[in-house]
């Protein structure tokens, strides 16, 4: 209903306790508890009505309102998950719930499916289950160790820039790419209030999914990152906007 390309995303949060969070959710007109699905549904109305995705609130037919744009669940162990069907919704959801739930609710990990789907692959509810199939979990310790090896002996800014450029070139030429279902850590201590780091991370994966949908399956995430940073700031803004990307090709992706 919002015209977004279907691409499942789930954010994992650490929370102080479930009761304090649900009390805040209960005060929002755009949230409703769904005991049948053991979740809270985020609806496209009231406080959320001003959000814009590929389409805005007025683009949703009156007879379809309110539509569900995300779901919050509370698995055991002081955790909360936010699950949604599209990358723009994930970014807007993080920005929406952050100030409303408070600093004690912290986004710790992200999981997403790194591709789009066609309408004949199944209904959205069934396709959301791909989030739990063939998951590759990133270990930040391995990435940190790799970076330490790459930058060992670097003493000056110029050396660091050369090392970074060489590293990115080798990564691009290697052909290594993100897995189909990716689970990676977030770094809340470095995140901005408007979740800019998360937005950039998801924007790049959105662009990769769009490129692969267009048939450019040779493009890896590393290649897209390198291309993005070689463009002018204006080009980056236009190409990096999830809501304005047109997929092209002969078949439209599944949209919701």
Digit-coded pLDDT (tens) for 175-224: 689 999 999 999 999 999 999 999 999 999 999 999 999 999 999 998 88
230 lies in a domain? yes
The residue with tokens 């940073």 is 229
65 lies in a domain? yes
Give CA angle at 116 (67, 11), nearest 5°: 60
E strands in 114-220: 135-137, 181-185
DSSP letter at 37?
T
For residue 55, give its domain range: 9-244
256 lies in a domain? no
pLDDT at 249 over 80: no
pLDDT at 238 over 50: no
pLDDT in tens, 22-48: 999 999 999 999 988 889 999 999 999
Q: Return the percentage of the chain with pLDDT > 90, whole number.
A: 57
250 lies in a domain? no
Q: 93: pLDDT confidence band, cut at 50, 70 and 90?
A: very high
What burial class does residue 6 get, using C-beta atoms within 10 Å of its C-beta: 0-12 exposed, 13-18 middle, 19+ buried? buried
Q: 236: pLDDT confidence band, cut at 50, 70 and 90?
A: very low
253 lies in a domain? no
249 lies in a domain? no
pLDDT in tens, 132-183: 999 999 876 666 666 566 667 777 877 766 666 666 666 556 668 999 999 9
* Count of structural domains, the chain: 1
* DSSP bridge pairs for 184: 110
237 lies in a domain? yes
220 lies in a domain? yes
At 2 the pLDDT is 72
């Amino acid at each position: 209903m919002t015209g977004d390309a279907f691409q499942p995303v789930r954010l994992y949060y650490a929370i102080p306790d479930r009761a304090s969070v649900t009390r805040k959710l209960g005060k929002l007109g755009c949230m409703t508890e769904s005991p049948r699905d053991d979740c809270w549904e985020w609806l496209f109305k009231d406080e959320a009505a001003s959000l814009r995705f590929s389409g805005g609130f007025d683009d949703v037919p009156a007879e379809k309102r309110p539509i569900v744009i995300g779901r919050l669940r509370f698995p055991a162990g002081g955790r909360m998950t936010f699950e949604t069907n599209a990358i723009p919704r994930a970014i807007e959801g993080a920005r929406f719930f952050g100030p409303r739930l408070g600093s004690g609710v912290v986004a710790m990990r992200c999981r997403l499916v790194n591709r789009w789907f066609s309408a004949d692959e199944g209904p959205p509810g069934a396709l959301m289950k791909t989030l739990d199939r063939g998951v590759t979990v990133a270990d930040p310790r391995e990435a940190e160790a790799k970076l330490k090896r790459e930058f060992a002996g670097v003493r000056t800014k110029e050396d660091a820039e050369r090392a970074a450029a060489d590293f990115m070139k080798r990564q691009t030429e290697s052909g290594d790419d993100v897995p189909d279902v990716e689970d990676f850590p977030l770094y809340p201590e470095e995140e901005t209030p408007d979740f800019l780091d998360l937005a950039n991370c998801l924007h790049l994966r959105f662009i990769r999914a769009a490129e692969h949908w267009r048939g450019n399956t040779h493009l890896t995430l590393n290649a897209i990152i390198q291309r993005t940073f070689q463009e002018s700031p204006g080009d980056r803004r236009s190409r990096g906007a999830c809501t304005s990307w047109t997929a092209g090709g002969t078949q439209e992706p599944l949209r919701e």
